[in-house]
């Protein structure tokens, strides 16, 4: 068993990490921390009573290094890179769920803040296994993608070779409210969201540059990515509806099948996908259809799992040389 | 008071018609019918007990003509035109909420079925007041637009003069479940929809030709309209997210304000719109923002009111020479 | 027209007051205030744009007295009595939506705080029109009942004459989340409530003494009232399920009909009631059934209307000598 | 590995059985059937694609007996006993999720229909492990309790010794919509349930006799059980609020702790329980509080798991001599 740590256990992605790791056949959860510590997993998350009952420490890199070989960081942007740096210097491998290692330096500093771990940034692997499996397996630092880029990239990357030159991509993303985290806000008050739907930060959301950068990285193509997230009345799940223009008509399901048939965590569907069928799992379900040279792609994930915690454990499996599918949830919360 | 009839009172749009007309200062509800009759409004809709208590007849055009000057038809496609024809021949004005008079003959027959009232079809006015006010006021037959075209057209028409040549429009529409009507189906079973979202009939939905035809009619421009409806877990309301490419950057809010500032039932917003603020009203709220020459427009309506019944009464107001705003709901179901 | 004021316009009940009063045929809304002022109704509540557009002042009793004959107070407990006192002394009639005048002095101080307007407390009428119509009509100070007592009392009072001696009443109340107000809290975070239900403050909720006191006041009977409120995933509406033991079996619907048949805002139903059929209205729907001498009563109201704002306007109608039903909402938000 | 069959795989409880058994360390799922057969598990339940991919047969007792030692019956009442009889006669053990073996003969025939397997009925063990563990372990036929009786009995049985003589019990049960199954009905149409709550079959629900019979069986006490189920807008989960009168005041949490502290699947809570914390698990969470001699108990379960499928697998574990907790879900769908 490989001893692992979870730093940042109080939020929703921290909870999902605890739930996956507590059942994982090869990882042993030896250290759990929050910024404050002095509690237990079941006090933080009452649903873990009689299930996962571990002490929760005040996060400390030195203490992690003493007991764990790999750490999952479920921390806010900026806080994460401070910990990551210290852990890497102490020989602990890191899977970081924040944005801190997802972008190249310039893009990061343009959209977030000055980077405080420039030394390790270049060696971070982007944790989207279907497209970066090799580099993840060789890395000791994985930048776990955001939920929006995960669903968007898995849907649109197969079609980048066929995109019509100089045309933009439009991504209409719909997210469950858990994506906004546990922090209270008027936008996530029950009365605001129930019986409602609205876009937020349209066009200006900072996941657009993450998507554009990976398209460029993989296909050496600059594409204008127009990203519009919407908040809707459900807790878990994310649906991305992607609109593109192609050079010429094609059979989109055949292209998806060619690329993904053997992938354990992508399902190419013959009908429009829904979020329920993936909620609770690491699957990304995808469907696409053309109208002449206009292409519509729809992809669905669980924002907290494939969009965060279960993908993080897949990455940890790769980093540690385990079978990619080991201990990863595949049974959906249906009905 | 102008005596009016509602034919098709058992569904959701029929109920909304009853609720508006029972309070209208100039229309008197003298005849209510369903295909079966022999009941009462409060038996059909228990929430009307002690509120609207009228007998419900078996629909009969001759009986309507005896008592009413104008009839609202809230009937299925195809059934509607049979009644409309008979009513018009008997001198009764018609506001038809079905699709039967919305399209030109060829388009109708391509997407629905053979038309059975070709004689009246050419005189039907398209009931979108902001763009067809004059012709509605002169007509005795109004084709009330569908909910998807209403929200889409009000959002995108202001920008058609600025669209980049030969580029498609993408409409990502999100509808509450009441849009699917009262009929039971697996797709509208509570367990299917709750905590879920999915596209249905993507690209192939028959509201796309209605939208394209009106763009052509108003601007003599053929545009490829890609329409993708989604069903989401809320009862009332519809949000259309529209993506277009422009010839050059522009100030979209200024264009909307120029066109709509004086409109009583359109509100140009300075932030992304939400469906709650329009639910229960005839308002269409609109917001738009550019990313270079990429344009994002978001419009919200109540699918049963602005998308059906309250817009129908606005049209009846115009047909009868009343103030357009008379008796039209404007107070939203907030919170 | 009687000029009226709304003090406390920023919350949900304040919004509902604005919506009703702006349409009321005999009240003119001349003064709107919050604790901070310097805004407008449409800035506070964006859904009021193009509908109710009034300036919002910083609440000031002297300013109210200059322009209004009656004031609605939608303020927190304790703050309300400060204003009420000043307004009454200046000759302004008051309908208070807070708890400040609902209880006798001892009970109030036991469950809330020291009372700061002992002089006016004895003259307050309890604003449940079906049982206190006469005293409301004669009063200049009405204590509008809470939503839980309104739904509970209308359901159980008809059966108090038949209750088995020395047996308790159990009230299992289920409330929509709007009842908890606009204030953010972990309990009203979307993710907490969605797909969930739970009791809160069981047995200890302070609406129990309000219910017990009114039973005693009307029937000179002390009954143990066990009140358990639950929060459930809906925005508006409240269902009270009431369990009692009777001296002997009876026909509960006949008793309800005897009492309520002529009441404009109570509907005795022949099937279990639902909250949708009353949401958006001032109705209380009631159904009851016996199992031998065990009685089950179920009553439904809109917590913000019959449980607060529309009942307040009914009370104002009575105070001002208007028809009780004037301007009161009766059309439900169905579907 | 013990080879097992699932008969009735198309419904929600059938799906949950497949999900649990496919991961169970000691049961091997060798036979899956529906009444029609000729399909696959992933065609019946698209969320099982790439997860559980088994052929689905037309249900046949002889075929089951050839390959399986134990069968789970997730069939409608009446159909179940036909299969159970045949399977038992062929030596296959049965865990029946229907009502067919839950009641004594007279009660069954009074509330359901004539019994068609009177020979095996007397040997059926009632599958509530906390109270019937010994008899389940010795039985080859287990009658899995209904969801309402499971949540009710676990909550109220600890207090039966303290109940005041000749006083009734009131159970106010709130169920998620999945409890009504996959069958379409007006009551489970999305538009009916969303933003709504209502009681159905109050007092007359046929789970009341099941609860009363087990109280009598365990404590030789006849108690009047008044059972009122409510349907509310959530998919999974059930909350039972139970009201009783006691001989004298007591410490209800101490009594619950005494009985349940060592139980693996009951959690006594120090605050009111919620359904989210048990959804996805076999836990029953319970809280109780007194008001003098009035007692309020609140218990929460996942209606499809503890109320059906996971409790069925616990019973199968007992029947086969395995550790009771083997392969039973304990990780809740939180958030």
Active site residue B284: no
Question: If you average pLDDT over every residue of chain A, what do you get?
Answer: 97
Average pLDDT over residues C144-173: 98
Q: What is the pLDDT of residue A326?
A: 98
Q: Is A332 domain-assigned? A: no
Mutate to test the interface with A, among B155, B172, B204 (most CBs of A within 10 A): B172
Enumerate chain B positions whose Cβ falls within 8 A of a Cβ in C: 12, 15, 19, 22-23, 45-47, 49-51, 178, 194-195, 235-236, 264, 267, 269, 276-278, 280-281, 283, 304, 330-335
Q: Examine the pLDDT at D61 and tell me if it is beyond 90.
A: yes
Strand (E) or helix (H) holding D295: strand D294-301
Predicted confidence at residue C204, as pLDDT, reads 81
Residues of D in contact with A19 (CB under 8 A): 331
Structure confidence by residue, pLDDT tens digits, C1-50: 999 999 999 999 999 999 999 999 999 999 999 999 999 999 999 999 99
For residue C173, the model assigns a pLDDT of: 98
Give residue D330's pLDDT.
98
pLDDT band for C206, please (50, 70, 90 cuts): confident
Give the per-residue pLDDT at D275: 98
State the average pLDDT over residues A275-295. Answer: 98
User: Do the Cβ atoms of C46 and B333 come within 8 Å?
Assistant: no
Q: Are A232 and B233 in contact (CB under 8 A)?
A: yes
Q: Is the domain of A36 the same as that of A139?
A: yes
Dihedral over Cα of B192, B195, B198, B200: its sign: positive
Cβ contact C23–B195 (<8 Å):
no
Verify cis geometry, omega within 30 degrees of 0, for the bond prior to D335: yes
Residues of A classed as catalytic = 147
State pTM to two decimals. Answer: 0.97
Which chain A residue shows the shortest CA-CA distance from C181? A191
Task: Identify the chains in contact with A, defined as 3+ C-beta pairs within 8 A.
Answer: B, C, D
Q: What is the 3-state secondary structure (H, E, C) of chain A?
A: CEEEEEECCCCHHHHHHHHHHCCCCCEEEEEEEECCCCEEHHHHCHHHCCCCCCEEEECCHHHHHHHCCEEEECCCCCHHHHHHHHHHHCCCEEEECCCCCCCCHHHHHHHCCCCCCCCCHHHCEECCHHHHHHHHHHCCEEECCCHHHHHHHHHHHHHHHHECCCCCEEEEEEECHHHHCCCCCHHHEHHHHCCCCEECCCCCCCHHHHHHHHHHHHHCCCCCEEEEEEECCCCCCEEEEEEEEECCCCCHHHHHHHHHCCCCCEEECCCCCECCCCCCCCCEEEEEEEECCEEEEEEEECCCCCCCHHHHHHHHHHHCCCCCCCCCCCCCCCC
C103 and C163 in a single domain? The answer is no
Indicate whether C246 and C313 sit together in one domain. no
**Chain A residues with CB inside 8 Å of C193's CB?**
190
Same domain, B173 and B121: no
Point out the residue among A195, A199, A203 whose CB comes nearest to the CB of B291.
Answer: A203
Q: Are strands B55-58 and A39-40 parallel, antiparallel or unpaired?
A: unpaired
H or E element, residue D315: helix D309-319
For residue A251, give the 3-state DSSP assignment: coil
Residue B327 counted as domain residue: no
**Chains touching chain C at 3 or more Cβ pairs under 8 angstroms?**
A, B, D
The β-bridge relationship of strands D266-268 and D284-291 is: parallel
Reduce the DSSP state of residue A95 to 3 states and report it: strand
Distance of CA C255 to the CA centre of its chain: 24
As a 3-state breakdown, chain B gives helix, strand, coil percent values, each rounded to 5, of: 35, 25, 40
Q: Calculate mean pLDDT across residues C309-319.
A: 98
Q: Give the domain CATH number at A93.
A: 3.40.50.720
| Chain C: closest CA distance from residue B335 (Å) | 7
Do D46 and D162 sit in the same domain of this protein? no
Start-to-end CA distance of chain C, whole Å, equals: 34
Contact residues on chain C for A190, CB-CB shorter than 8 A: 177, 188-190, 192-194, 233, 235
In angstroms, the separation between the Cα of residue B281 and the nearest Cα of chain D is 18
Per-residue pLDDT band at A28 (split at 50, 70, 90) = very high
pLDDT at B187: 95
Shortest alpha-carbon distance between residue B285 and chain A (Å): 12
Distance CA B65, CA B52 (A): 22
**In this structure, what token pair is assigned to residue C93?**
């009639």
Within a domain: B329: no
Number of domains making up chain C: 2
A105 and A137 inside one domain: yes
Based on the fold, state whether residues C131 and C218 are members of the same structural domain.
no
Nearest-by-Cβ selection for A280 from D22, D278, D333? D333
Q: Which of D147, D240, D284, D290 is catalytic?
A: D147
ipTM of the complex: 0.97
Residue A76 lies in a domain: yes
Predicted confidence band of residue D21 (pLDDT cuts 50, 70, 90): very high
| Positions in chain B whose pLDDT score sits under 50 | none
In a domain, D334, yes or no: no
pLDDT computed for residue B206 by the predictor: 83
- Mutation target to probe the B interface, by most B beta carbons within 10 A, among C12, C43, C44, C46 is C46
Say yes or no: B292 and B314 in one domain. no
CB contact under 8 A, B51 and C330: yes
Q: Are residues C28 and C115 in the same domain?
A: yes
Identify the pLDDT of residue B266. Answer: 98
What is the least distance, in Å, from the CA of D192 to any CA of chain B?
8
Question: Are D163 and D222 in contact, with CB atoms under 8 Å apart?
Answer: no
Question: Is A50 part of any domain?
Answer: yes
Q: Cβ distance C32 to C5 under 8 Å?
A: yes
Please give, rounded to a whole number of angstroms, the shortest distance from the CA of D105 to a CA of chain C.
23
CA–CA dist D327, D321 (Å, integer): 14
Close Cβ partners of B204 (under 8 Å, ≥ 6 residues apart): none
Q: Name the catalytic one among B147, B240, B284, B290.
A: B147
Backbone angles phi, psi at B274, to 5 degrees: -130, 160
Question: Average pLDDT of C171-179?
Answer: 97
- Cα→Cα distances B26→B20, B51, B310, B322, B324, Å: 11, 18, 15, 8, 12
CA C70 – CA C321 distance, rounded (Å): 13
Which of chain B's residues have a Cβ under 8 Å away from the Cβ of A233? Answer: 232-234
- CATH number of the domain that residue D252 is part of: 3.30.360.10
Average pLDDT, chain C: 97
Query: Is A176 inside a domain boundary?
Result: yes
Q: Do B335 and C280 touch (CB under 8 A)?
A: no
* Residue of chain C whose alpha carbon sits nearest to that of A232: C190
Same domain, B43 and B23: yes
DSSP lists the bridge partners of residue D71 as: D5, D94
Chains in contact with D, where contact means 3 or more Cβ–Cβ distances below 8 Å, are A, B, C
Tell me the average pLDDT across C66-83.
97
What are the structure tokens assigned to B60, written together? 């009969």
Token readout for A280 is: 């609770």
pLDDT interval class at D204 (50, 70, 90): confident
User: How large is the average pLDDT for residues A267-273?
Assistant: 98
Q: Are residues B127 and B193 in the same domain?
A: no
- Determine whether the interchain pair A296/B228 forms a contact, defined as Cβ–Cβ distance below 8 Å: yes
Domain that holds residue A280: 148-301
How many contacts, defined by CB atoms under 8 Å, are there between B and C? 60
CB pairs under 8 A between A and D: 59
pLDDT tens for each residue of D24-54: 999 999 999 999 999 999 999 999 999 999 9
pLDDT on residue A214: 98
Specify the pLDDT at position D223: 97
Is residue C248 in a domain? Answer: yes
| pLDDT (mean) for C272-291 | 98
Same domain, B160 and B297: yes
Interface contact flag, B190 D189, Cβ < 8 Å: yes
Query: Token pair for residue B221?
Result: 């421009």
């Amino acid at each position: 068993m490989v001893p692992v740590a979870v730093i940042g256990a109080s939020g929703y992605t921290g909870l999902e990490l605890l739930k996956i790791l507590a059942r994982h056949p090869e990882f042993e959860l030896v250290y759990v921390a929050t910024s404050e510590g002095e509690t237990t997993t079941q006090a933080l998350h009452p649903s873990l009573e009689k299930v996962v009952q571990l002490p929760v420490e005040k996060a400390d890199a030195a203490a992690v290094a003493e007991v764990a070989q790999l750490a999952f960081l479920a921390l806010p942007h900026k806080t994460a890179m401070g910990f990551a740096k210290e852990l890497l210097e102490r020989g602990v491998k890191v899977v970081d769920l924040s944005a801190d290692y997802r972008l190249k330096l310039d893009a990061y500093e343009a959209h977030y803040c000055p980077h405080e771990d420039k030394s390790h940034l270049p060696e971070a692997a982007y944790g989207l296994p279907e497209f970066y499996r090799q580099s993840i397996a060789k890395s000791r630092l994985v930048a776990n993608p955001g939920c929006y880029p995960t669903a968007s990239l898995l849907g649109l990357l197969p079609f980048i070779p066929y995109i019509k030159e100089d045309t933009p991509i439009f991504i209409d993303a719909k997210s469950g409210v858990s994506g906004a985290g546990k922090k209270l806000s008027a936008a996530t008050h029950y009365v605001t969201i129930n019986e409602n739907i609205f876009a937020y930060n349209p066009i200006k959301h900072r996941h657009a540059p993450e998507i554009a950068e990976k398209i460029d990285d993989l296909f050496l193509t600059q594409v204008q990515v127009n990203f519009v997230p919407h908040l809707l009345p459900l807790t878990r799940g994310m649906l991305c509806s992607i609109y593109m223009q192609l050079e010429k008509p094609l059979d989109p399901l055949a292209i998806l099948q060619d690329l993904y048939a053997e992938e354990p965590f992508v399902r190419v569907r013959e009908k429009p996908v829904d979020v329920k069928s993936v909620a609770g799992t690491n699957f990304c379900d995808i469907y696409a259809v053309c109208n002449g040279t206009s292409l519509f792609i729809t992809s669905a994930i669980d924002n907290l799992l494939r969009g965060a915690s279960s993908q993080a454990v897949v990455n940890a499996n790769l980093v540690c040389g385990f079978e990619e599918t080991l201990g990863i949830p595949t049974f959906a919360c249906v009905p």
